[in-house]
Each structure stands twice: as structure tokens, then as C-alpha cells.
Structure 1
């Protein structure tokens, strides 16, 4: 047997790289993982920044996709001690004065709070909730799910057209409902209204009333730890602080899976890529940046409307028209005066994250791609507008500019935490038009990052689907390995 014939190499240990490694290792493949940083996890890192007893999620904090991902459902996060915790409300959207719109996990309570638009909100969300398995399977598994997903298509298509076009302002009669949905659409980080934004709003919006928008007890790194423990239990080996500059630096392997953005692929593969594929990767578009501030605060955010504080996630964007204008300007590269800001107070759902007089707070603003401005004042003022007295609670802070996010994680090109612009074309063809989007023209080389389908989010599906492709083509394994604890090869977690 030639060297490396029973081995796979994974470069990058974000959630998709780890999911790929779990899948390969459980199929009996020897897996070697390489990570440029000193710790694994990519967007799933948790650190103590200001106080040794207070932990902050450095990137991803809230995980609606982890709760419904087919990969994570099979992997069994709860069975592995990863607790997904919920707040009373999934998200809130303050408006001027003391008004706010709140998406409670209870759909009917949400509808009552929206007054005359309650019936419209129910009509929008309830059918999606009734078909939630098909909806999530379609969006997270792509064309593979189409045979069983026609009910989801029939529910999503007319709603996306209504809320993703110039018709969007006409769908509700009052601002609270309009703004509540617009804030979720802004998670697409692109021009609004748009079909991509509507798709994101419908997916995340209906999950808010079902499986919810949870965070992990103790921090996001617990997901990475669970994945790593399973990989190690199945013989996988981690190599940290190993920056891979070129493919030839890797050991012999039958398959190499790269949890990297197209920019990283172009760097690592060098001149080995065919001209056509290289040009397509070079044309891959990246979206706006996230500029983040981690706060240490003395108490809960003093929101003007106390109902806002019931939500784990808070969107600061003003009216629907404000959100649409701000997001469109940002996507065009023009800094908005009052950009969209997203705030997460982890202790709302996980009280153990706070101590008397000290608690973490997480916030980011959408800014133009590659923006180098310190976001602290911008975000502080934005929160203060809806929570008078907030500034007095700030004990310490750390800013990360949009451009600096790429230094933290090379997949966040120019600060794009979605690893690629969410345009209709790129949603369907990311990272380049191919029947198998994970397989590259180089023999045995696969892409498995969020720049491949189904795209951004902590769901592990890009890595899982890439690993299944590699198992079929390189190892002749056509059956997906079992992922849950207690199943699979000897020594499973």
C-alpha cells in the first residue's frame, strides 16, 4: 500500500473542518488535522479577555443552525454534554422611545405583541414551522434534499418573493413587524431587500419560534471541544501552530480537505490549479465586514424597553427602511452613519456566564469590506441610543476592526464572517460552478469551508458533505458512517 493510502488531511479546524474530520475518522480513515492558530475551533473560540473568571465568545455566540443541522443532530450535542440554552425571547428589535418588537419563542405571544400585524406574522411563520424539517433540510443540504423538500419549496418561494423584493414594505401594516423581520434579513450581510435576505429571514425567523436561537452553556468552544474529543477517540491527530503555505508541505494522503476560503485555496494551490478554475475562484465575491467589540460590563444592558432584555440577541437598526438603506450602503462600500448592530448578552440565557458586577457582552456592526475603523465609539453610541446609561456600565472593552477579523481567521476575507457574499448566484454556485462543489480539479483535493454549500453558520454541513464526497470518490465508502455516541468504530465517544 502506498504511503498515505488510508489517510486524509484536513487543513483548518473551524466547525466545517472538524465536521469533515469526524466523518472521515468514523469511516475508519486516519485523519491528520493542521491548524495555523494555537487553538482549534475557528469561529468557535471562547477566551477570557479581561477577567480570568469571565469568558467571551470571540466570534460565533448564538447558534440557531447548530440546533437543526442534520450533522449536529446525528452527532448528538446534548449527549456529549453540550447544552444549548435559550432565552425567553430569541431576538428583539428596539424602536425609538420605549417601543420594541420582540420575537418570543412562543409564536402566539409574539403575534399578540405585534397587534394588527399578528395575524400576518402567524401566516408567515406557522406554515414554515409545520414544515421546518423539510425547510432546514432543503437549505442545509441543497439539491440533494429536493425530492423530499417540495413542501418546503412551495412554502418558501412565494414568501421570499414577497419579502425579498420591492413588495417587502407592503407585507405588514405597522413598523414593529416590518423592523422585526428586517433585522433578521440583515444577517445576510448584503443589499436589502433581496431574495437572499428574505431566505435568511424566513429560515432564522421561523426557527426563532421553534428550535430557537440558543447559545452554548459555558461558551461556543464547547462545540469544538466535543468534536475534537470524538476525532481523537477515533485516532485523529491535531497539529496546531502549523501554517500551511503550500500543498506540498502536507504529508502523503489519499484526500486533502481544505477548510479555507477561495483566497486561501489560491494561495495554497499556487500555480497547480487549471486556469479556468483559478479564474473562477479569483472572481469569488466577498461581502461586507463585521467590526466587533467585546465588552466587560457591570450589569445587564439597561434597555429603555425592559422587554428587550428578555431576548438573547438584539438587533439595532431602526425602521425597516433604515435597515434596508444601511445594509445597501454597506454592501456598496459606503459607511453608514448608523449601521446595523447586533448585540448578544450571554448571561440572559446562561446566568453562569456572569458574576456579581461583571458579565460579558458581545456586539458587532456591519461595515464596508476591509474597513479599518475602530468600531468602539460607533457601537457604544448605537447601544446607548436604545439603552440610556449603558456607557456607565462598561468596565473594559476590546475592539476588532473589520480588516483585523481576517488576521484572526483567514477565512474572514476583508472581515466577511460569511466567507462569501450571499448573492443569488453565489448561493447556488459557491465557490465555483461545478456538479460537486467540494471537489476541485486537483486529484484528491476538496474544499470544505463555509465558502461551499450551504454557506455560513455553525452547522458543520459543508465539512460533512465534503467528507462524504471524498469518502465516495477516494476511499470507495458510499454509506455515511454513524455519528452518534456509542456507534461507529471501536473507541467511539
Structure 2
């Protein structure tokens, strides 16, 4: 390994958005940085491949990026000059319902509320206080515990968000349309909707949809990583792919090593460099349910019963609030729902370079028990067919990923969990374990910056940004070391 004889200020293990964001902050602060990636391409959860047929470009993991376009750190970087182009659709979310028009989450609060009938005023009253300064709220929400920049706004959000999605929906709305829309947003929590904090995800994703339309990325989600890579090269950051780190002894002399990995990997690599008590604690970290994902090459757009669904980048499937709640509760009981809550993303509807002319890509996943090995192809296709009759007739080819495929694709996805671990009351704020500095370890040279740290899952780079900030406070006191 040609880098092993060199000396760097920082070594970043893993090149997901958090690792690359950490590298960007270190390098822009004047420190030399080496990034090591086990795969042959960088990106972690933001890679794109021809998974089905030639000419059909699919996002392997993340597909729509509400937190990416609103990321307080990523938007400060000149990524547009390095190839990143956000494509914003007319609507962020469509939520089909049986026998009636779909509900659309649009940029306009008034336009969205107007479509909710009896709950028009209630929906407006619930969200309008947070839309006076949504980007300030999002910045505080995507930060570790500390002194917020907008304390009163965050406090108001916290008082509502600590409740369950079920409590907010039933307490705020009378009709099924508003409840269903809120359930779809809250489902991103990957928790039963009667659990505390699921309300926060429902509110946060609703707020993002009224701040920026949930975008897809021109040329595939991979362009997020590629634009960061291009920018990092201007800062002289070295990035090495196909470099799986199996021991700290492989690393060059550095002041700090920062892991964009799961806590499990940190525990394994940290043997001998971390206390046994710390390793024991992070090995007890809970990852939660996994996902089963499908990609399709399609002979046309998805034939939704309500064609307005084609206006949205993301479609939440699952029907009424009660159905979605039952689906998510089943997953936590170790069951596979027959009619699961699903997230469908329609990238080729807005980025026509994703598929040959006249053709389209399809993308969908549902939550499943951790480690599930069931093939749910028929289940997912039936659920889409429920709201889009004739969907199966448009399938040219399909590609499925079970939980073990996700873990093989990215060893951060333990048990197929794609968002860095359970974000309930005990792990949402204190992840991977309770420490004053959640990114630090007992070894002053070793840190973690993955989605298993605050603020958690999503393509926003804020875990890496905040982790790097914590390292920068003391890096000048750290002498370069080599692990022998």
C-alpha cells in the first residue's frame, strides 16, 4: 500500500457522504487527508448502476434527497461546479388512496392543505409555525445535542415531535387524507407509529417538502459522491478505493482516524486500541429492521390510477394511516406484512437520462425484519398494482436486493438496516452510546462519523461535518501515531 509510508493529519475510513463531508472540512481547514474505501467506487449509499438492462441507470440505495438539498453543510460547498445538479419535481410526495384522488405534498403549504378537505385548516396550523424559518429549524434538528441557534423554534418542534405519529395524526386531523399523508412521512422513522419521536419524523419530512421539493440527482445519486470527490481533489485529498481496512496496523501515521463505518466495524478494528468496556457498549448498539428493495426496467411510466402521482419524486404506498401503522408494527414483531408500507421513487420521470427514450426505471423498497431472507418480489409488485393497475405488464426486467445483499453491498448496513440504526428515545440523541462527545472514543485518536452518530440517517453529510468539528477542536494537541 503506497500510502502506508506517508504521514497524514487525518485518515477517513469509508467514503459515504459523511466520510467525504468530514474529509472536506478537514482539508478546507488546512489538514492533509487520506480517504480509504473498501469498494472499487466511492459513495456508500449514493451509488448508481445498471442493475437490470443496459441503458437503465438505477440508484442502488438512496434515491430522493430532501436532506441533501437542504443540508446546512453540503449547500456551502461549490458542488454545482463539480457536476451536482438537483432536479426538483412539481411535488415531493404522492400518497395514493383506494377509490379516490391521491394526496400530494407540494411546495405550497396552501395548495397541499387545500386538498385535505376537512383538515385544511388543521394541517396549515400544524406546519405553518415551523415554516417561518424552516432552514434554521432543519439546521438545529441536524445537529447533536447542544445549544441550538433557534432555541424557541426547536423547543416548539421538540414538544410536538417527541409525541408519536399516531398521537399527532389522531389529535390533529379528522379525515383520512391528512392522516395518510402524515403516516407516509412518519414511516421514514422505521419505527411503529405509536412510538415516541415518530411524530418528529412526520413533521420534519413534511417541513422539508414545503421548503424544497424532494429532488433526484441528474445522472444518478452517484453524482453526489462524484461531485464531492471532484471538490476534494482541489483540496489535495487522497482517495484510495479497493482498500479494505482489516487492521489499524495497515494505516499510515496520523493524528486522527475517523470511521465512516458501523459501530460493529469500529469495535472490530479498535481491538487493542479501545477499552474493552467501550467495545462492549458499542457492540450492544441496535440496528433495527432491514429493507427489501426492487428495481425495474419499465416499458413506460408507472400507470397510477391517479396520474397526478407522476408529479412526485416519491410515492408512499400503504393506504390509510391504520394500514401503514399495522405494517410497520408487524415488522417490529418479526412479521412480513402482506400489504407493506413502501417507498417508490420515480427518478426517470424527471431525469430522462436514466432510461432509453420512452422507457423508465422503477425503484421501491419496504421494511422487513432484520436479516430477512424472504423474496418479496410478488408482494411489492402486488402493492404497486393495487394503486397502478397494469404495472406488471410494463416490467421488462427486475432486480431484487434482500437484507444480506445490502450488507454485502455495504457492511454499514447490518441486518439490512440502511439508516444507521434505531432512532428511538434511547438511540436518537445518544448514538452510538451516551458520551459528551458522541463522535469520540476513549482513544483520543479514534472517532466515528457514520449515520450511527447524530443526527442519524439520511444523505446530508452532517454526521461527518459535526464529527470533524469535534476533532478539529483538539487536533492541534494530537501527535501523529502509528498502530503497530
Fold conserved between structures, TM > 0.5: yes
Asked if structure 2 preserves the Cα contact closer than 8 Å seen for 1:288 and 1:330, the reply is yes
**Aligned-pair distance for 1:249?**
1.6
CA deviations on 1:278-310 (whole Å, 9 max, x unpaired) are 121011111111111111101110011112221
* Counterpart-to-counterpart distance in 1, 2:20 and 2:167: 40
- Which segment is superposed worse, 58-67 or 125-134? 125-134
Q: In the alignment, which residue of structure 2 is the partner of 1:174?
A: 175
Q: In the alignment, which residue of structure 1 is the partner of 2:37?
A: 35
Match of 1:75 among 77, 82, 97: 77
**Aligned counterparts, 1:267-278, within 5 A:** 267-278=268-279
**Aligned counterparts, 1:226-245, within 5 A:** 226-245=227-246
- Which segment is superposed worse, 210-219 or 148-157? 148-157
Q: In the alignment, which residue of structure 2 is the partner of 1:281?
A: 282
1:24 aligns with 2:19: no
**Aligned-pair distance for 1:79?**
4.1
Match of 2:139 among 118, 137, 140: 137
* Counterpart-to-counterpart distance in 2, 1:62 and 1:475: 38
1:87 aligns with 2:93: no
Q: In the alignment, which residue of structure 1 is the partner of 2:411?
A: 410
Unaligned runs of 5+ in 1: 478-493
**Aligned-pair distance for 1:110?**
1.0
CA deviations on 1:73-119 (whole Å, 9 max, x unpaired) are 21133344311111111101111124321112222111111111111
Asked if structure 2 preserves the Cα contact closer than 8 Å seen for 1:287 and 1:418, the reply is no
Local SS of the residue matching 2:55: coil
CA deviations on 1:379-421 (whole Å, 9 max, x unpaired) are 1111011100000000001100023211111111101101110
Local SS of the residue matching 1:272: coil
Local SS of the residue matching 1:16: helix
Residues 8 and 157 of structure 1: is their aligned pair in 2 closer, same or farther, counting only changes over 3 Å? closer
Match of 2:105 among 95, 103, 106: 103
**Aligned-pair distance for 1:165?**
5.3
Local SS of the residue matching 1:20: helix
* Counterpart-to-counterpart distance in 1, 2:288 and 2:150: 29
* Counterpart-to-counterpart distance in 1, 2:451 and 2:391: 35
CA deviations on 1:162-211 (whole Å, 9 max, x unpaired) are 55454632321110110000011000101212332111111111110112
Local SS of the residue matching 2:54: coil
Unaligned runs of 5+ in 2: 479-484
- Which segment is superposed worse, 4-13 or 401-410? 4-13
* Counterpart-to-counterpart distance in 2, 1:166 and 1:123: 16
* Counterpart-to-counterpart distance in 2, 1:187 and 1:83: 24
Asked if structure 2 preserves the Cα contact closer than 8 Å seen for 1:64 and 1:214, the reply is yes
**Aligned counterparts, 1:196-345, within 5 A:** 196-345=197-346
CA deviations on 1:212-254 (whole Å, 9 max, x unpaired) are 2111111111111111112222221122111111212211111
CA deviations on 1:33-62 (whole Å, 9 max, x unpaired) are 111111000011011223333211111111
* Counterpart-to-counterpart distance in 2, 1:51 and 1:408: 19
Local SS of the residue matching 2:293: strand
Local SS of the residue matching 1:73: helix
* Counterpart-to-counterpart distance in 2, 1:112 and 1:166: 23
* Counterpart-to-counterpart distance in 1, 2:155 and 2:328: 28
**Aligned-pair distance for 1:355?**
2.7
Q: In the alignment, which residue of structure 2 is the partner of 1:491?
A: none
Asked if structure 2 preserves the Cα contact closer than 8 Å seen for 1:8 and 1:32, the reply is yes
* Counterpart-to-counterpart distance in 2, 1:84 and 1:360: 18
- Which segment is superposed worse, 234-243 or 271-280? 271-280
Q: How many residues align?
A: 474
Asked if structure 2 preserves the Cα contact closer than 8 Å seen for 1:313 and 1:342, the reply is yes
- Which segment is superposed worse, 46-55 or 133-142? 46-55
Q: In the alignment, which residue of structure 2 is the partner of 1:480?
A: none
Residues 307 and 232 of structure 1: is their aligned pair in 2 closer, same or farther, counting only changes over 3 Å? same
Local SS of the residue matching 2:373: coil
Q: In the alignment, which residue of structure 1 is the partner of 2:482?
A: none
1:381 aligns with 2:379: no
Asked if structure 2 preserves the Cα contact closer than 8 Å seen for 1:168 and 1:193, the reply is no
Asked if structure 2 preserves the Cα contact closer than 8 Å seen for 1:339 and 1:367, the reply is no
CA deviations on 1:309-341 (whole Å, 9 max, x unpaired) are 211100111111111111112123222222211
Asked if structure 2 preserves the Cα contact closer than 8 Å seen for 1:134 and 1:151, the reply is no
* Counterpart-to-counterpart distance in 2, 1:332 and 1:344: 27
Q: In the alignment, which residue of structure 1 is the partner of 2:62?
A: 60
* Counterpart-to-counterpart distance in 1, 2:403 and 2:8: 41
* Counterpart-to-counterpart distance in 2, 1:124 and 1:284: 34
- TM-score, structure 2 normalization: 0.94
* Counterpart-to-counterpart distance in 1, 2:117 and 2:354: 35
Q: In the alignment, which residue of structure 1 is the partner of 2:189?
A: 188
Q: In the alignment, which residue of structure 2 is the partner of 1:487?
A: none
